[in-house]
Chain A
Amino acid sequence: EADIYQTPRYLVIGTGKKITLECSQTMGHDKMYWYQQDPGMELHLIHYSYGVNSTEKGDLSSESTVSRIRTEHFPLTLESARPSHTSQYLCASSEYLGTGNEQYFGPGTRLTVT
């Protein structure tokens, strides 16, 4: 089983609150990713990181921000939550491209903004 953790698993919060979704991995992977999945839709990449102090935006535009100060930690922050941010957020990591870039996923955070 992959060693990648996400907290909280479920979060219900009011509009305007600041939220940080935590993601940690103990595999020493350089590459980490955040995916968003709206109900009935595909997983879409919103952020990724190639290593410490490296962050890039993904294919799907997001108002969230990320940071990568330590290899093992890749938190996602929403400064002011809105109902449109209601979704499931999955964090993943991978080792290197040579093996086809198999990604290891956390269990996800299901966010509801009221």
Chain B
Amino acid sequence: ILNVEQSPQSLHVQEGDSTNFTCSFPSSNFYALHWYRWETAKSPEALFVMTLNGDEKKKGRISATLNTKEGYSYLYIKGSQPEDSATYLCAFHTNSGYALNFGKGTSLLVTP
């Protein structure tokens, strides 16, 4: 089981604040880095799948960057809204199989 670290564990921000989370993963045998958003009572939803060092991806107010050489990825949310409240999961994928190795997630609460 490969170790994926996410920080912070939880975050409480006000509506309109921008925020970011970190995911650290082993840099050897890297294949892909996934970010998922998991709202309570719903299915985890894929936000980004990144495979190349230096990748930057954006979906609306959410963006992510990837550094495979040093083994980290950042997720940014600009102008947080209450509907952004969810757990954000990072998962790392090696080139030796199909399994995703997940971190424990960052739980985000955005209050009006």
Instruction: Name A residues whose Cβ lies closer than 8 Å to a Cβ of B.
Output: 2, 4, 31, 33, 35, 40-45, 48, 50, 58-60, 90, 94, 97, 99-108
Instruction: Find chain B residues with CB under 8 A from A2 CB.
Output: 43, 45
A42–B25 alpha-carbon span in the complex (Å): 14
Q: CB-nearest residue of chain A relative to B36? A: A105
- CB atoms of B43 and A42 under 8 A apart: no
Q: How many A-B residue pairs have CB under 8 A?
A: 68
Known: A2-B45, A43-B89, A99-B49. 18 other contacts (CB 8 A): A31-B98, A33-B99, A42-B4, A42-B102, A42-B103, A42-B104, A44-B1, A45-B100, A48-B99, A60-B1, A90-B44, A100-B34, A100-B50, A100-B93, A103-B34, A103-B46, A105-B44, A106-B43
B74 within 8 A of A: no
Proximity bits, B21-59, A CB within 8 Å = 1, else 0 = 000000000011010100001111110011100000000
B47 to chain A, nearest CB (A): 10
Among A31, A48, A101, A107, which residue has the most Cβ atoms of chain B within 10 A?
A101
